[in-house]
Structure 1
Amino acid sequence: MSTEAATAPSPFDAERAGIERVLCFAAHPDDIDFGAAGTIAAWTAAGVQVSYCIMTDGDAGGFDPERRDEIVRLRIEEQQRAAALVGVTDIRYLHQRDGYLEASHEVIREVVRLIRDVRPDVVLAMHPERNWNRIQKSHPDHLAVGEAVTRAVYPALENPFAYPELAAAGLDAYKLPWLWLFAGPDERDNHFVDVTDHVEDKVAAIHIHVSQHPDAGAMERTVRGLMLANAERAGLAPGRSAEAFHVVAVNGPGTIAGF
């Protein structure tokens, strides 16, 4: 179920979008769970095929100095278990170094490769703009994900002459309908998804990432509070919970080639 804030009309028409496949990009294991696990749980429950691409291995995360040699394995396992809780089993990795992610042509090419392979109706990614009100959303790797994905989506993805080696390998140019961005500035949010029925799925998925939460109780209270605040911003009834997105129509009925 989705709703749009009265002050920020969404360009996304959920009734007519016909979403069948979604590809989600994030910087670290757990980013998707914090930003969109409720929406993803609703999608998979409705039969939508959802895939993840985690760009780094999360090797700089965690708080236990005694387990540094295990952190990559732990975080991969945590992400697999968390994804399974919301109906996702297809997880890809770019294996970039945590804290060093850049919107390089190497990374952009791999993003284009994945989108052309999956050919989703929606690409969901972290926002390329910094959130000054809650700067924790704007880890430099998060911003790099948003920039790399946005630059991949247009024009490289739909340009048959961009990264010609991809077309030569059978990955033809593709026009993406929708780009959904999360964890950006609040003023960019123009679409809210009512995830009240999937709050517990989201919270359970986040709790799987035990290597990242020295205070799991405070984390859960914060997450629940933010979802309630999103629902209030969206004009939902008191007690409802929502996730917020900046939805961009990349290719639609009004799109003109090259504009």
Structure 2
Amino acid sequence: MTRALAVFAHPDDVDFNAAGTIAQWVRDGIEVSYLVVTRGEAGQGEPRETIQQLREAEQRAAAAAIGVKDVEFLDGYADGRLTVTLDLRREITRAIRLKRPERVMTSSPERTWRLREADHPDHSAVGEAAACAVYPDALNPYVHPELSELGTWSVPEVWFCEPPEPDHYVDITETFGLKVAALAEHRSQPGIEPESVRDRCAAVGAAGQLPAGRLAEAFTIVRRVPAG
């Protein structure tokens, strides 16, 4: 495993859901790239006329805090109005074919109605679009013929964040400080308190039956079954 691509709807999504895990990947020598679909203009922050630039800068600083250097934002997609369109699938497919990741991380396409922070329709839309980009789009040369010069790419593994029924828990106790450092860069967004983040990660660790006091992030992992 040498390359991973994280695809999310808004600045801070990746840090809330997976910064501890990604910090471990970076530590282990995996080259991680971020693709952020919007600049989070519907999020809180002042002044409103520069909120997009502010949140983009915050996400870049958060990425740097855990060692991620490659951060790309898409143009033309509005925060709060995302749907699974062919255009969005094409943009994610382009990134997959260019980056050639062996692992894609994204939001779960399944909405969890019990959790306010997990039920944003933008999250599930991006998760579904990313799943479509992984299969069949990135693998099929005839889906987006305008991308033919990039060739095709088969992604072996997809990690869905905060799914309704996780099947994989990552112990982030050792990288929790980096997760907090990344979240701290999102200064325009209220309610990011280290203790509340710790409590949430402790609850995830308990759900994953980790030893008492351990902190975790949760995922569902889907692996490609080789043909034949």
Do the structures match in fold with TM over 0.5?
yes
Aligned to 1:179: 158
Structure 2 match to 1:70: 50
Partner residue of 2:27? 45
Gaps (5+ residues) in structure 2? none
2:86 paired with 1:130 = no
Unaligned runs of 5+ in 1: 1-18
Contact 1:25 1:125 in 2 (8 A): yes
Name the counterpart of 1:240: 214
**8 Å CA contact 1:138, 1:183 repeated in 2:** no
Q: Which amino acid in the other structure matches residue 73 of structure 2?
A: Y
Are 1:197 and 2:174 an aligned pair? yes
Equivalences, count = 227
- 2: CA distance between counterparts of 1:58 and 1:233? 30
Classify the secondary structure of the residue corresponding to 1:47. Answer: coil
The CA distance in 2 between the partners of 1:121 and 1:252, in whole Å, is 14
CA distance in structure 1 between the aligned counterparts of 2:192 and 2:38, rounded to whole angstroms: 23
Deviation at 1:177, TM superposition (A): 0.1
The structural deviation recorded for 1:149 is 0.6
Match of 1:158, SS? coil
Q: Which residue of 1 aligns with 2:125?
A: 144
Is 1:117 the equivalent of 2:98?
A: yes
Deviations 1:15-55 (A, max 9, x none): xxxx1100000100000000000001001011110000000
User: What is the rounded CA distance, in whole Å, between the counterparts of 2:192 and 2:15 in structure 1?
Assistant: 14
Q: Is 1:26 the counterpart of 2:44 in the alignment? A: no
Residue 167 of structure 2 contacts residue 219 of structure 2 at CA under 8 Å; is this kept in 1? yes
Q: Structure 1 residue 183: deviation in Å?
A: 2.4
Q: For residues 116-163 of structure 1, give each alpha carbon's deviation from its aligned partner in whole angstroms, at most 9, with x where no partner exists.
A: 100101000011111122032121111110110111111111111111
Q: Distance in 1 between matches of 2:173 and 2:40?
A: 29
Partner deviation per Cα, 1:186-233 (whole Å, 9 max, x = no partner):
x2x0011111100011011111101011x443xx33221121111112
Let me know the Cα RMSD of the aligned residues.
1.2
Which residue among 86, 89, 94 is the counterpart of 1:108?
A: 89
Match of 2:37 among 43, 52, 55: 55
**Greater CA deviation, 24-33 or 133-142?**
133-142
**Normalization by structure 1: what TM-score?**
0.85
Amino acid at match of 2:2: E
Cα distance in structure 2, aligned partners of 1:21 and 1:63? 33
Flag as ranges the 4+ runs of structure 1 deviating above 3 A.
Answer: none
Paired position in structure 2 for 1:223: 197
Give the deviation of 1:63 after TM superposition: 4.2
